[in-house]
Amino acid sequence: MTIFEKIIARQIPAQIEYEDDRCLVIRDRDPQAPVHLLLIPKKVIPRLGEAAAGDEALLGHLLVVAGVMARQLGLAGGYRIVINHGPDAGETVPHLHVHLLAGRVLTWPPG
């Protein structure tokens, strides 16, 4: 069981910003920007490259929720959406999740 599954099951506390039947949005415990949210699907998909055609609606839902959260937080100046795949990309939890980063100027390339 991943840390995200434990958070979803309320076995580990987290600062929950949003929840619906398909996903949970929490504040990152090690933020890389003043605003750093994690959008976590309740369905376990280990990483983006393992998503199936049947996961399209869920993946789209995560992006729609990211937009909703950005509007609620007043991030009109911009924000970045990141999905890491594998250890070389910085993935530390094998449970697909979307990072929403904002609150400072984000440079490019990112890392």
Give residue-wise pLDDT tens across range 68-102.
999 999 999 999 999 999 999 999 999 999 999 99
Q: How far is Cα 103 from Cα 48, in angstroms, rounded to an integer?
A: 26
Q: How far is Cα 6 from Cα 11, in angstroms, rounded to an integer?
A: 5
Q: Which residues contact 74 (CB under 8 A, 6 or more apart)?
A: none
Give the per-residue pLDDT at 38.
98
Stated as kind and residue range, the H or E segment containing 62 is helix 56-72
Give the per-residue pLDDT at 110.
82
In the chain, DSSP assigns E strands to 16-19, 23-27, 35-41, 80-82, 98-102
Catalytic residue among 36, 61, 95, 97: 97
Q: How confident is the model at residue 1 (pLDDT cuts 50, 70, 90)?
A: very high
Give the per-residue pLDDT at 45.
97
pLDDT reading at 42 higher than 90:
yes
Give the per-residue pLDDT at 95.
97
Decide if 85 is catalytic: no
Give the per-residue pLDDT at 111.
67
pTM for this entry:
0.95
CATH architecture observed for domain 3-102: 2-Layer Sandwich (3.30)
